[in-house]
Amino acid sequence: MNPLVTDEERARLLAHGQARAAGQVIDPPPVVRLFTPDAHVTWLLASLDPADGDTAHGLIDLGIGMPELGTVQLSVLASIVGPRQQPVMRDRYFQAVRPLSEYLRLAQETGSIVD
């Protein structure tokens, strides 16, 4: 297990990833919110590639006003530290209230991810 996601979150991410890999058009809610406490970067991850179990897909907000859908490797996120040596963290209290497409729409309107 990657320390950034729980076993239950990993199972949900993989299920969404398997559906995407099978060609299904899905718009699931994000499963996990990751962030850097000292660099204003946020990831809302909705699926995990079942082929490698490491490449996640979701909404990425680098804190520069241009949030976009993209992919990131969990192993890379686990190695990142911010300017004050803070690691990427999982928001243990995050509960998605809308599908990923709605988070994307709102983030593009406002320039950042809206919780």
Span 67-72, mean pLDDT? 97
Closest CA to 54 of 73, 31, 32, 76: 73
Residue 1 has pLDDT above 50, yes or no: no
Closest CA to 42 of 54, 53, 26, 58: 58
Q: Model pTM?
A: 0.93
Structure confidence at residue 2 (pLDDT): 54
What is the Cα Rg of the chain in Å? 13
Alpha carbons 68 and 107: distance in angstroms, whole number: 8
pLDDT tens per residue across span 76-111: 999 998 889 899 999 999 999 999 999 999 999 999
Provide the β-strand partners of residue 12.
none
